[in-house]
Structure 1
């Protein structure tokens, strides 16, 4: 990976920022700053870099593994929410009150307790007071939140943006030095191609500097069937695509290119409307989307992501026309190299051995 095309000021600032974060880590390692442990399984999912490595899909993947056997909760910061402090999600919440990703999880996993809190220790304490029956807590995007000591730490890194090839902010996108991968118990290389040969896996394992205590897995995303974003407004519950389909592809995510590539396999008639990650769509933007869609030829539909849908559900400017024609492409995680069973057993073994009643 080539060095980012940025000036020397950014490079020098990255060393300053790296020194500050490394000193903070030293304070935790030396126990000058304290980390709190809890008497139940705590699993952290995070990354070294800013940006989308797939934390939410992998959190949902863990919920599918654990949810049937254990009462599981998810605790997140609640990025870009309009509230402060601790909050346990309820039926009156929206993406505005708890954040788009926590609301997405809350909507898809109604039997899972979902809470948000900037301070994770306080969040866990309040969560256990309100929901004492909880048996496992997943911490979303918590690798740098060292005031909580997780029992199992999962570190994600993107196949095409390995942390080993990256640089510290603001020169690169790392939040802390890559040597801090040592805190992870499991490292997952995400967004891989379906087929990765042994030579490539070994090359990546060497680059990532995998330690003896760590397990390395590779994962990819696969897309599910399209479904209506607003079932009560849309007569169609699903949609089938062919070469004559006209798609208005509408997203506010980190990297929409994989979706574009996926739909190119069905049709070349794609109109992109891409916005920044976590974008809150304005009235003018909604009007523009509506106008563009109305001018598309028939057989047409609007397609977005589950994360975008979580924000659109509370968008007061959404038109009836959009609601009637909006479909959602779900995203699922797949562990590669026939290691799904190994990964599942690793997670379940940790939870079983560290449960409060074990």
Structure 2
């Protein structure tokens, strides 16, 4: 894969030019963005996946849900439907995608919707009898047809955007210059003991604009694993199979290893559609631990009932009080 990316390097300038030209046309108004008279928060990134968008959306839901009527709007990656779909009691991951379905199962007091066309999705949400007064756009940083009130751009600590190249050699969906659109930049998946000197070094390399604020976050793993009806203490887990279908499982593997737990790891690509042959292999194990995103897809497999657990996570933000206050001020 690395070799293929290297030999595709001659295409980097072409991709760079196309994406830069598109952004330039939006910046100058040759292509219009639609503004709204209510707050829209966009959470996204410059790179392809693995920066922690889902935990950040969940953080914002917890932050704002008590004072605001919220909705999340996603594309619904790899769903088996088209157009606008509003999650309800008949919804599953196939209809809206695994991450939106995770939002729906976790937060019963918000609206969860998917639509490839974000403008249409917003219009449909605002047409609901009980419509939201804040919409959280998931993975929409490049969807410039909508002008958000607040753009939160994520970049993972182990793959910082200013060290990366655009596709196809690198992982950037657009040039690094796109970072200037962000109101808030969050370096995600940091070590929880990140030094002030390292924070300063990263900030200096980002060349932040006057309107931008930089924050650092890390993943907080729960001390237990959960199933639909049971909870097990992480410290006393017997040997298990870890199943992951996420962009980067390394932080999770490292965490479980540091805990001294005994496990084997069955790794799949991000948003993997598990096949019957995969389930046959997984079900041979007495205890299976997975991520919450994978759990919402695997929990429908009857063979795994009583065996399948997930490890809950939350994002923690350094200077959380400052971050929370900033978000609330921007959308008020």
Q: TM-score, normalised to structure 1's length?
A: 0.89
Q: Which residue of 1 aligns with 2:295?
A: 309
**What is the rounded CA distance, in whole Å, between the counterparts of 1:153 and 1:244 in structure 2?**
40
**Unaligned stretches of 5+ residues in structure 1:** 232-236, 295-300, 353-358
Q: Which residue of 2 aligns with 1:10?
A: 8
Q: Which residue of 2 aligns with 1:128?
A: 126
CA contact (8 A) 1:44 1:138 kept: yes
Cα shift at 1:345: 0.5
Q: Which residue of 2 aligns with 1:155?
A: 153
* SS state at 1:239 partner: strand
- Which of these residues, 248, 251, 261, is aligned with residue 258 of structure 1? 251
Q: Which residue of 1 aligns with 2:320?
A: 340
Q: Which residue of 1 aligns with 2:307?
A: 325
Cα shift at 1:319: 4.0
* SS state at 2:103 partner: helix
Cα shift at 1:243: 6.7
CA contact (8 A) 2:299 2:305 kept: no
- Which of these residues, 198, 201, 204, is aligned with residue 199 of structure 2? 201
1:45-194 correspondence runs (5 A):
45-194=43-192
**What is the rounded CA distance, in whole Å, between the counterparts of 2:281 and 2:199 in structure 1?**
45
Larger Rg: 1
Q: Which residue of 2 aligns with 1:240?
A: 233
**What is the rounded CA distance, in whole Å, between the counterparts of 1:16 and 1:9 in structure 2?**
14
* SS state at 2:26 partner: helix
Cα shift at 1:220: 0.3
Length, aligned pairs only: 331
* SS state at 1:160 partner: helix
**Unaligned stretches of 5+ residues in structure 2:** none
**What is the rounded CA distance, in whole Å, between the counterparts of 1:214 and 1:283 in structure 2?**
48
**What is the rounded CA distance, in whole Å, between the counterparts of 2:5 and 2:145 in structure 1?**
34
- Report the more deviating stretch, 17-26 or 243-252: 243-252
Cα RMSD after superposing both structures: 1.5
* SS state at 1:332 partner: strand
Q: Which residue of 2 aligns with 1:223?
A: 221
Cα shift at 1:27: 1.3
* SS state at 2:140 partner: coil
* SS state at 2:305 partner: helix
